[in-house]
Amino acid sequence: MDFVHYSVMKEECLQGLKLSSDGIYFDGTLGGAGHSYEILKRTAPNGRLIATDLDKDAIENAKQKLSEFDGRFTLYNTNFKNISSVLKEYGVTEIDGALLDLGVSSYQLDNRERGFSYMSENVRLDMRMDQTSGKSAWEVVNLYEKSKLSYIFSVYGEEKFAENIAKNICEERKIKPIDTTGELVKIIDKSIPYKFKQNGHPAKKVFQAIRIEVNEELDGLSECLKDIVKKLKKGGRLVVLTFHSLEDRIVKQTFKDLETDCICDKRFPICVCGKKKEVKLITKKPIEASEQERKENSRSHSAKLRIIEKI
Ligand SMILES: C[S@@+](CC[C@H](N)C(=O)[O-])C[C@H]1O[C@@H](n2cnc3c(N)ncnc32)[C@H](O)[C@@H]1O
């Protein structure tokens, strides 16, 4: 299957990075390498790119796609949260900019076998970005307790009928394990009253929730953003694209923390916490996709772009 992914807000991300032709850039979410390709193109002849992705298909595809820039890029099949060890292995202590385009790629969604899509039917529940390790969606759906399922659907999926869906999953799996995406979709469908099924596919929120749980997408995200800022040179930018409100809230709050000086109680005569602001906010409000892009790519509808600069 071809590796197709439409890079969201490509121009805005690249402008946001303020690229320089001898800079070193980190793309934590390589995906279809659309952003990475442009970084390398626009930083010729000396710019360097270090990129990570959990998905080995993304790494293999990018080796081909970026081959014209051979010698200027290094790819790691790992979590971007390992940025410190990646940079250490690469042999640098500082970078000029970093990009995170969070979530899954269109390739992952469209590749039936990966089990990310509620549109596919007889596909084993998987949803792992890294198919070589960790729990799969099958384990979440078949082994988690009802209360934990309900929590995940409600918090990660913002699903109103979380409790009912969790209850029905637990009843069905007493009869037989829920093995496929299609079986799960049917259970979700019967758990949501008809009049609430008008806004998009009924399984969308639960699938998002399970995907977030399987890939631990929100765990350690805030700490990772802070680690990246530590690695930025003065004037270096961190550009982050999010696709749902939970992720965006974490990014927004972390950027705010990083932009805040002293957090002592206002009644203290002098600062005892010693906290100093580390960044300036480049985007006071997140940038959203243009009308044109929204028409061309539905995935851009929920995208929010936030940028900070190390001071
Ligand atoms: C939205 S796509 C990136 C698309 C890319 N910017 C492009 O232009 O083609 C997100 C990619 O990030 C990867 N990914 C998500 N979370 C990750 C993590 N914590 N560490 C490494 N890769 C991750 C996914 O496997 C996926 O390939």
Ligand 1 in reach of 34 Cβ (< 6 A): yes
> Which residues on adjacent β-strands are paired with residue 280?
309
Find all residues with CB under 8 Å of 79, minimum gap 6, and list them.
52, 54, 130
Ligand 1 in reach of 103 Cβ (< 6 A): yes
Ligand 1 in reach of 181 Cβ (< 6 A): no
**Cα–Cα distance, 97 to 218 (Å, whole number):** 22
Q: How many angstroms does the Cα of residue 104 sit away from the middle of ligand 1? A: 6
Ligand 1 in reach of 7 Cβ (< 6 A): yes
**Cα–Cα distance, 140 to 214 (Å, whole number):** 7
**7 CA closest ligand 1 atom index:** 8
**Cα–Cα distance, 233 to 194 (Å, whole number):** 54
Alpha-carbon dihedral of residues 113, 115, 119, 121, nearest 10 degrees? 70
> Which residues on adjacent β-strands are paired with residue 25?
49, 97
DSSP 191-243: HS-GGG--SS-TTHHHHHHHHHHHTT-STTHHHHHHHHHHHEEEEEEEEEEE-
Q: What is the pLDDT, as a whole number, of residue 17?
A: 98
Q: How many angstroms does the Cα of residue 63 sit away from the middle of ligand 1? A: 15
Ligand 1 in reach of 31 Cβ (< 6 A): yes
Backbone angles phi, psi at 306, to 5 degrees: -125, 140
* Token pair 């998002």: residue: 208
Q: How many angstroms does the Cα of residue 148 sit away from the middle of ligand 1? A: 26
Class of domain 10-103+219-310: alpha beta
| Strands of the sheet with 24-27, listed across from one edge | 73-76, 48-52, 24-27, 95-101, 232-242, 304-310, 279-281
Most informative mutation of 39, 129, 216, 227 for ligand 1 (most atoms within 8 A of CB): 129
Q: What is the pLDDT, as a whole number, of residue 173?
A: 98
DSSP character for 68?
G
Q: What is the pLDDT, as a whole number, of residue 287?
A: 98
Pairing of strands 279-281, 304-310: antiparallel
pLDDT tens, residue order, the chain (311 aa): 777 778 999 999 999 999 999 999 999 999 999 999 999 999 999 999 999 999 999 999 999 999 999 999 999 999 999 999 999 999 999 999 999 999 999 899 888 899 999 988 789 999 999 999 999 999 999 999 999 999 999 999 999 999 999 999 999 999 999 999 999 999 999 999 988 887 789 999 999 999 999 999 999 999 999 999 999 999 999 999 999 999 999 999 999 999 998 889 988 889 998 899 999 999 999 999 999 999 999 889 999 999 999 99
Burial class (CB in 10 A: 0-12, 13-18, 19+), 267: exposed
- Topology of the domain covering 117-214: DNA polymerase; domain 1 (1.10.150)
**Token pair listed for 147:** 């209360």
Ligand 1 in reach of 57 Cβ (< 6 A): no
Q: What is the pLDDT, as a whole number, of residue 133?
A: 92
Domain ranges in the chain are: 10-103+219-310, 117-214
3-state class (DSSP) for residue 46? coil
Q: What angle do CA 246, 129, 307 make, to 5 degrees?
A: 45
**58 CA closest ligand 1 atom index:** 27
Q: How many angstroms does the Cα of residue 292 sit away from the middle of ligand 1? A: 24
Find all residues with CB under 8 Å of 31, minimum gap 6, and list them.
5, 7, 53, 58, 101, 105, 107
Ligand 1 in reach of 58 Cβ (< 6 A): yes
**Cα–Cα distance, 91 to 298 (Å, whole number):** 39
Ligand 1 in reach of 55 Cβ (< 6 A): yes
**Cα–Cα distance, 241 to 13 (Å, whole number):** 8
Nearest CA to ligand 1 atom 13: 29
